[in-house]
Amino acid sequence: MTQATEGADTGRTGAVVQWWRRAFSYAGDERETLLVIGKSTLAATLAWLVAYDLLDARSPAFAPFSAVLIMQVTVYRSIVQSLRYVGAVVAGVLVQAALGFLAGPDLLTFVLVALIALTLGRWPVLGAQGPQVATAAFFAFSTYTSSSGDAQRVFRLGEIVLLVLVGCAIGTAVNVLVAPPLRYRSAEYGIRSLAHTLHDLLADMYPQLAEGVPDQDTTGGWRARAQRTEGTINQARSGLETAKESLQLNPRRLLRRYRALPGFQGYESVLGALERTLYQVAALVRGLDRSREDDEAVRPFLRRYAAFLESAAAVAEVLTTLDETTLLPQAKRLERLAGEAEVRRDEVVEETRRLSLSLADPSAPYGMLVTEATRLLEEFQYTGQVLLEAAQNANVYRGPGSPRR
């Protein structure tokens, strides 16, 4: 074995060890993965026990398959998908039963079953479970052709539906009763991710602006990074929707004694402000990209602007550690930093007056830069107000003396 191979094996082993360490150390994706695997195993085992030992079914695998299939990331989604899956299976079995008893188990019947089942699978009401119509119809056709006599065929087709119902019931029950998934923190994680993106971009920008007009390669790199934030924004939005959905029909929400942002309105407002801020930073970079003159006379302006961006990065840094359990001190800190950013913005405006820089000249970036600085400041101030109100509402919601967790 070569040293390179040994190194690769060691690296993979280390990654596996780290994965398990993270899973047992704190709540995260690794622990969620283990929880889903454990719950799915439990649901499948219980479904097999009922189908094989209690019902003595001919095809008991339908039950554990159904139990695992509807094990979703939220209780609400699990219930909805369970209903859709049952509907799809019933539709597929009914299509096969109707055509089978009318036309018999021949090739033409199978063609008609496939045609109708695949068409029904396109029904929007069934959503992602649409393909299960055809799957159920094909299994039902196989069961129908291998059975003898109409009575046995009816019994076997009914057994398929019963096993699916058993599997869905057990899978949903396990998902609801055994550590039901509560993903409200996914909205928080999305905001942190966006804030990290904003902070890292600003932290790269202000030191170079303090030294003068950046070159085209540098501003081009900033523009590319700003444009790539669209994916991060979409992920954050998806996390917010998952967080909202995770509370629906979830019994664990009744156990929570502390919820900082009731209804997720605060999270949604902060997320919207961050989204607008990233777009404004992208516009700011485009303005910098238009200016190639490194005039010594405007260096003071750029230094003032760099100081403003540094204070903006400090505001973004607060949001990278957003945590509902410490929201009030974070909101107060953000409010203080937004006040410092306002002072830096005013110094930028004053510097444009002192240097007699034209803010109306479309060929110069100064007016646009001042405008974007004002817009950034407004978003930061708005975010601070939202967090402060959310923290105050959380204190009212929690009540005096009640624990945070």
Shared domain for 90 and 36, answered yes or no, is yes
- Confidence tier at 299 by pLDDT (50, 70, 90): confident
User: CATH code at 323?
Assistant: 1.20.58.220
Looking at residues 387-394, what average pLDDT do you find? 74
**Residue 19 within any structural domain of the chain:** yes
Instruction: Tell me how far the alpha carbon of residue 240 is from its chain's centroid.
Output: 6
CA distance 148 to 160: 16
> Are residue 168 and residue 198 in the same domain, yes or no?
no
Average pLDDT over residues 249-275: 61
Selected residue with higher pLDDT from 133 and 266: 133
CB atoms inside a 10 Å sphere around CB 221? 14
Residue 95 lies in a domain: yes
Do the domain assignments include residue 403? no
Q: Looking at 177, 206, 233, which one is the last position of a domain? A: 177
How much is the pLDDT for 88? 95
Residue 394 CA from chain centroid, whole number:
24
Over residues 224-249, the pLDDT tens digits come to 887 777 777 777 777 666 666 666 66
286 and 316: one domain?
Answer: yes
Q: Alpha-carbon dihedral of residues 84, 85, 86, 90, nearest 10 degrees? A: 100
Per-residue pLDDT at 327: 77
pLDDT at position 47 over 70: yes
Q: Say yes or no: 234 and 162 in one domain.
A: no
What is the pLDDT averaged over residues 51-56?
Answer: 93
In a domain, 404, yes or no: no
Q: Check whether residue 221 and residue 165 sit in a common domain.
A: no
- Closest by CA position to 105, among listed 59, 162, 150: 150
Residue 199 and residue 239 share a domain: yes
Q: Name the pLDDT band for 52 (thresholds 50, 70, 90).
A: very high
Q: Is the model more confident about 231 or about 263?
A: 231
Are 245 and 74 in contact, with CB atoms under 8 Å apart? yes
Residues 145 and 85 in one domain: yes
- R_g of the chain computed on alpha carbons: 30
Other CB atoms within 10 A of residue 386 CB: 21
Q: What is the mean pLDDT of residues 257-281?
A: 69
Average pLDDT, the chain: 80
Separation of alpha carbons 395 and 260, rounded Å: 8
Segment among 98-112, 144-158, 181-195, 307-321 with least mean pLDDT? 181-195
Residue 215 and residue 146 share a domain: no
Asked if 195 and 224 sit in the same domain, the reply is yes
Query: What pLDDT is stored for residue 261 in this prediction?
Result: 42
Looking at per-residue pLDDT, the higher value among 258 and 147 belongs to 147
- Domain final position from 150, 177, 204: 177
Cβ distance 44 to 62 under 8 Å? Answer: no
Domain coverage including residue 323: 185-398
Q: In terms of domains, do 168 and 206 share one?
A: no
Q: Is residue 217 part of a domain?
A: yes
Domain co-membership, 69 together with 116: yes
Q: How confident is the model at residue 15 (pLDDT cuts 50, 70, 90)?
A: confident
User: Do 158 and 227 belong together in one domain?
Assistant: no
Query: For residues 199 and 75, which has the higher predicted lDDT (pLDDT)?
Result: 199
Q: What is the pLDDT of residue 242?
A: 67
With cut-offs at 50, 70 and 90, classify the pLDDT of residue 404. Answer: very low
Q: Is residue 1 part of a domain?
A: no
Which residue among 177, 201, 236 closes a domain? 177
> Is the backbone of residue 344 left (phi > 0), alpha (psi -120 to 50) or beta?
alpha
Query: Quick check: is 229 in a domain?
Result: yes
Residue 209 lies in a domain: yes
Count: domains in the chain: 2
* Mean pLDDT (whole number) for 90-113: 92
pLDDT of 140 > 70? The answer is yes
pLDDT at 197: 85
As a whole number of angstroms, the distance between CA 69 and CA 88 comes to 13
